[in-house]
Every structure is written in C-alpha cells, then in structure tokens.
Structure 1
Amino acid sequence: MSITSTGDGRWKVDVEPVKGRRFRKTFKTKAEATRFEASCRLDCIKATPWNPTPKDKRKLSALIERWYDLHGHTITSGRRRKNTLLLMATRLGDPIAIKLTGTHLAQLRRSELESGAVPKSINNRFTYLKAVFNELRRLGDIDYPNPLDSIKPLKFQERQLSYLSIHQIALLIAALDNLKRSPSARLVAEVCLATGARWSEAESLTLAQVSQDAVTFINTKSKRTRTIPISAAFQKRLHAFFEKHGRFTSCMHSFRSALAASGITLPRGQSTHVLRHTFASHFIMNGGNILTLKEVLGHSSLTMTMRYAHLSPSHLRDALRLNPLDGFDTSSTHEKATKGKSLKNQSSATDAP
C-alpha cells in the first residue's frame, strides 16, 4: 500500500510509479495523500516528446530581419520601417528577443523622451515593433507572448494641422518659379494642391496616368488606385512637361528650399505634407463633403479625415444654437447687476450716521 497511517493521525505516501522515481511525503489527511499519489502517477505516465523544441535564442535584430523576409517586404514603406526597427534594436542593446520585457521598452521610451523625441514618433516606432511580434506569432515563427502587450501608448496633446492661406500659396508658387535648377518642383506642388496627393504620389506620376482631365495615382500608401479630376488647362500643362522632360525628377529638397525662401514657417514635420493639408482644409472650408474628401485623400478610415471636419462652415454649429446662453441677454443682466450694486451702495451711504 502506497498510503499508510502513521498512527498519530497523519498519512504517509510512499509511491514509485516507475523504476527510479520514488516519492515520499506525509499529510494531515488521507484525502491530501490520495491526491498527491494520483498527481505523482499522472506526471510519470505523461508522454515525453522525442524532439522537444529548442529554446529560441534569436536576437531582436534577427527577428526583425525574419519579419521583413516573411512580411515586411510586402509593405510600401517596409524597408524604411525595417531600418527604424533595427536602430531601435541597437538602442535596446539587441537582446535575445524572448527575454525582452516591458521594463526594457519603458526604459528606452524614457531615454527617447528625455533626448527630445516627439511622443507621436515614439508611439509609431513601438507600434511597428509590436506588429513584428504579432505577425511572427500569427505565422507560427514564435510561440511566446508579445512583450509590447504591457506597454500603453503615450498620451500627448494633438497638434493642429497647418495649411496655407491663398496668400501663402501665391508666395510659395512665386518662390518655386525662381527655382531654375528644378522645373519639376512647381508642377509636383501644384498636383498636391489640386488633388490632395502625397508628395511621393505626385512625384511618381507619368504621362499615362494623366488623361481625360484626371490623374490616376497608383502604388499608393493604402494600396488602392484612385482617380482625381483636374482642369483641362492643368492637364495640358502636365502633358507638355512630360513630353519635354519625360517624367518628374526627385525635387523634395528643392521644394523645401523654396518654402524657406518664401518666408512661410510651419510646424516641424509638415513641410511637404502641408500641401495635402491645404487641399483638404480648403475643400472643407468651401463646403466639401467629408465622405467625398475621404475618397479623394484615399484614407482607409473616416477617423483620419475627421481631422478636417472642424473647418466646415456648419461643423458643430449646434453648439452655438443650443448652448444655455443662446438668446439670453447677458449684457443687460450685467448692467442690472451693476446698477443694483450701485443703488445698494448709495443706500448704505445715506443710512450711515
């Protein structure tokens, strides 16, 4: 019998389920002893795999390269994202990926904040790294939890999107006209202003993509092709340029030089993207529909487009019409209160001895 009474009210277990593995222990009750014996027998009869999976000893940089080979190469900005992630791995000391913890990441985030990094940029980089672990886990390349699941994104004050006024647009066009070395810059900027395109989308246009008074953008960020109408006169100018020069040259640096020369100051990181913001802002201010704008800009969700909704002439107009002071003459109330206070002071002065 593997369970015996010790004579003093306790129960002793002495069991050897398999040769060479013996378990001995004393319990206060027979029920506890019985459960312990059953547990020992169960552990010994469990099947042992012949080829156990070796522990994953890959470093974080190797995991990032693996992600790029399996998935990252399919993303439009995949190579740029991989380089960002590799730099992040270097800052973390390139640890073994399975040993990476939320504490390591929180420490990195603090050092980046103290060095002056923008919170939104930090959140973006952490989102990229989280996607690496999620994608590799989905593909079955790793089987351990994502260390970024415990990291909450930073909260920060949302910045107001900048856009150019009509006067500033004229200043910018004049500055672009003075760029003799880059004939492409002005037309690329005009494409962005006329269609809301990203700079890279406008810069990659070809003659075949401009026809029937419209431009068609391909290889976009959202992977969707979209066609935006333009004027016949603008199409004629684009055709004339392509027939003479072939296609646009890389001219972002020239645009930034012209922007600086124009005297227009913009928030950090909004130099070329300000053209897209300008199109969207004027579209809404001139009465455009927010759903139409979503399709024109190629946004995947309406949330992104709603950043421009506050510029609509009718946006939140009910706040003016339905607020508790609407129709209430606050100026006359103030005058009555002031007059009443004055009369009270006069009365007090009269009654004084």
Structure 2
Amino acid sequence: MAKAKGLYKRGNTWWISYADPDGKIRRESSHSKQYKEAQALLIVRKKDVQEGKEPIPIKRMGNHSFRELAEPYLVWAERQKSFESKKYLVQKLVKEFGNCPLRRFTTRLIEEFQTSLLSKGRKPATANRYLATIKHMFTKAVEWDMVEEEAAKRVNRVKHLPENNRRLRYLSHEEAEALVNACLPHLRPIVITALNTGMRKGEILSLEWEKHVDLRHGFITLDITKNGERREIPINQTLRQALQGIVRRLDSPYVFVDGEGQRYLDIKRSFHSALKKVGIKDFTFHDLRHTFASQLVMKGVDITTIKELLGHKTLTMTLRYAHLAPGHKVNAVELLDGNVQMKSSAQLVHNPAISS
C-alpha cells in the first residue's frame, strides 16, 4: 500500500502534516500506531481547511524543563547496555541545565557548554559524549511531545569536536606495582583485574561469580561485549590469587561489592586517590586497558592474540599498540639467520671448470 502524502512516522507513531488556511505547514501526532487512524485524521484536517475552518489547535506542549525530560529518559535508558555511563552523563547534565526549559535550548547555549567543559580540562571526547546524550534526549523529547521539533533542530546543529584518538598512556611495570600497592583493599582486586585482563571498567564492575568467572577452568567469559561478541579471557596466577582473596557474599551475585552487598557503580574517587598517592598524573582507569595491551606487545605477544583478548572488532584498533615493540622487526629477520650461509674467503677456491 502506497503511503499518502502528508503521513509519516516518528518511532512507532504516525504523524500528519498539512497546510493551514494561511499556508503554514502544521504537523500533528495522531497518537496512534495505526496508519488508517492517521489517514482519517489527515482527511478531517484537510476538510476543515477546504471549508475555511480553523483546524482544531494542535495540542499545546507544556513548557517542560530539562529535569522533567531527564526523569522519563532515564527510565527508558534502563533497557540499554550502556545505562550506567548514560545515567552518569544525564545526572551531570541535570546539574548544568536542570530547570532550563527545553524550548530555550539554542545552538549557542550548547556550544558555550562545550567551551566550558574544555576550559575545565575535559577532553574533546568527553564533550562529545555529553553532546551525543543531549541530542538523543531531544530526539526522544520530540517523540514524547515534550518539545517542538524546532528545538531539537537547534541542538542538532551543534557539531562534535575533533578528537585526538592517538593518545596512548600506559604504566611501566614499576608504576603498575606502585599503584596496586597504593589501592585501598576494595579497589586493589579491581585494578589487578584490569591490569591482567584488559577489561573495560563497566565489564569489570558487572562481573558475576556464576555467570562470568570460572576459577576451576581459569577463564572469565563475557557473553555480551561492546562489539556484540563473546569473549574469553584466561585467568593468570596473579588474578587468581586476587579473586580467591575476595570474600564471596551469598546475598549478591556480583564479584565486586561494598560492605552492604551492593555492587560498585564507580570507583573514580578511590582510584584518583591511589594515583595521587604514588604521583601518577594524566591517567584514567581506561588507561589500565592500554597498559595491559602495551605490556603484552612489549613482551612479544602477537597483535592478533591481543586483538582477541581486548575484544576489538577490527585489527586496526589494536595496531595502535604495534609501535611499542621496537624490536619486533629485528627479531623477525633474525629468524632467517642461517638460511643462507656465506663461505669465508679461504673457502672460495678457484674452480678450473669455470674459465673464460
């Protein structure tokens, strides 16, 4: 069935558009998932226009604030894999824009927010994550009739900042050892897990004993990873000792929990305290993942194996670590030593059979 002009979908809901008596384009939600119901509404509106009647006013949207949008958005986001990180970003945005009406969001307002983040030392990548969250929230606000489409268009005009994805910060063996020793008891096994598996923070804090950790066979299994694939990570002796030292609680399935059996949602404060204690600067928890990969490369582990351990979807993502093995080309050609033996000058005897 061909779709009639003036009918379109936003999400699962059908909308209509038509010109009012003054020639202005009106858009209206049918509040229905049924095409026929939207088609019937469009016929009614066009008839009103033809008869010179003023169409029934489109439902006026309330003057909702950003805080009022955040509440249903977080409820919706609970179904997403990235809920914890999204929740953190939304909560920070509420502190920034809480009572600001959605209709008052402008391109300039968002760009000033970007500038503010950079002036506070935040990375462009961080500013871009905030921007992506704001844009998606406004997309949902339009779907939920909380703001006019024009407000979302203003927000979407803001461009993402260029990112320098070549940053690679990792710890030396001595720095890693000092950091582990500086950690509080609850943080130490978390950091050891990161250094010995290369897992992301969210993956580590979500670990469950029964679901993911197999100490008997020596594997951590992640069924749903960032790239959507299953990943198996061997448990070495250092990590085994750290995990065996954790008192397993019967009232929680999680590996890393606080004194009340609740899993840690973040360990940013204690991690920063440990870094400060040993004087490590310009370092984030995610850099422990870089440290894992970098140390493996420098110990001669091949890039393909590291790719599988990190759960990278493409080899290109892992190749950023390749330059850390300055001797790998030398070692490679040294493998050919002995293939062709050169005779000494004493062994080079004139062959009378070969003459001019």
Using the size of structure 1 for normalisation, the TM-score is 0.59
Q: Which runs of 5+ in 1 are unaligned?
A: 1-20, 22-41, 318-353
2:124 equivalent in structure 1: 119
Give 5+ residue unaligned stretches, structure 2: 1-20, 22-47, 259-266, 331-356
SS of 2:58's equivalent in the other structure is coil
Judged with a 3 Å threshold, the aligned counterparts in structure 2 of structure 1 residues 205 and 152 are, in CA distance, closer, same or farther, namely closer
**2:200 is the counterpart of 1:198:** yes
Q: How far is the alpha carbon of 1:58 from its aligned partner?
A: 1.8
* Partner residue, 1:241: 245
Instruction: Look up the equivalent residue of 1:213 and give its one-letter code.
Output: G
1:151 aligns with 2:158: yes
Instruction: Decide which of 267, 285, 291 is 1:272's aligned counterpart.
Output: 285
In the alignment, structure 1 residue 226 sits paired with structure 2 residue 241: no
Give the letter for the 1:237 counterpart.
Answer: Q
Asked whether the 8 Å contact 1:59–1:97 carries over to 2, the reply is yes
Name the amino acid aligned to 1:127: A
Letter paired with 1:188: I
Deviation at 1:199, TM superposition (A): 3.9
Cross-structure match for 2:321 = 308
TM-superposed CA distance for 1:165, in Å, is 1.7
Q: 1:164 aligns with which of 162, 171, 184?
A: 171
- Structure 1 residues 47, 300: CA separation in 2 closer, same or farther (over 3 Å shift)? farther
- In structure 1, C-alpha distance between the alignment counterparts of 2:195 and 2:305, rounded to whole Å: 16
Quick check: 1:65–1:82 contact (8 Å CA) kept in 2?
no
Give the Å deviation of 1:109: 3.1
Contact 1:102 1:150 (8 Å CA) reproduced: yes
Deviations 1:209-239 (A, max 9, x none): 13311123468666765321123x3465256
Contact residue 219 and residue 233 of structure 2 kept, 8 A: yes
Using the TM superposition, give the Cα deviation of residue 243 of structure 1 relative to its aligned residue in structure 2, in angstroms.
5.8
Pairs aligned (count): 266
Amino acid at match of 2:127: I
Work out whether 1:296 is the aligned partner of 2:306.
no
Matches within 5 A, 1:1-353: 45=51, 48-50=54-56, 52-71=58-77, 74=80, 75-90=83-98, 94-114=99-119, 116-137=121-142, 144-145=149-150, 146=152, 147-155=154-162, 157=164, 160-173=167-180, 175-176=181-182, 182-208=184-210, 209-211=213-215, 212-217=217-222, 226-231=231-236, 233-234=237-238, 236-238=240-242, 240-242=244-246, 247-249=255-257, 256-263=272-279, 265-267=280-282, 270-290=283-303, 292-299=305-312, 305=318, 307-311=320-324, 313=326
* Residue 80 to residue 221, structure 1, CA distance change in 2 (3 Å): farther
What amino acid is aligned across from residue 68 of structure 1 in structure 2?
L
Q: 1:151 to 1:230 in 2, by over 3 A?
A: same
Which structure would you say has the larger Rg?
Answer: 1
1:151 shift after superposition: 1.1
Distance in 1 between residues matched to 2:90 and 2:229, nearest whole Å: 23
| 8 Å Cα contact 1:287/1:313 also seen in 2 | no
Q: What is the aligned-residue identity percentage?
A: 27
The verdict on how the C-alpha distance between 1:66 and 1:316 changes in structure 2, with shifts beyond 3 A counting, is farther
Contact between 2:64 and 2:146, CA under 8 Å: does it hold in 1? no
The structural deviation recorded for 1:184 is: 4.4
Which whole-Å CA distance do the structure 2 matches of 1:302 and 1:136 have between them? 38
Q: 1:180-209 CA deviation, whole Å, 9 max, x = no partner?
A: xx4444333222111102345335545431
Q: Once the two structures are superposed, what CA deviation does each residue of 1:107-153 show, in whole Å capped at 9, x if it has no partner?
A: 33334444554433322211210121234446776551422221112
SS in 2 for 1:155: coil
**Matches of 2:175 and 2:111 in 1, distance apart?**
42
With structure 2 as the length reference, what TM-score do the two structures score? 0.59
Change (3 A) 1:141 1:95: closer
Q: Secondary structure, in 3 states, of the residue corresponding to 2:130? A: helix
Query: What's the Cα RMSD here?
Result: 4.1
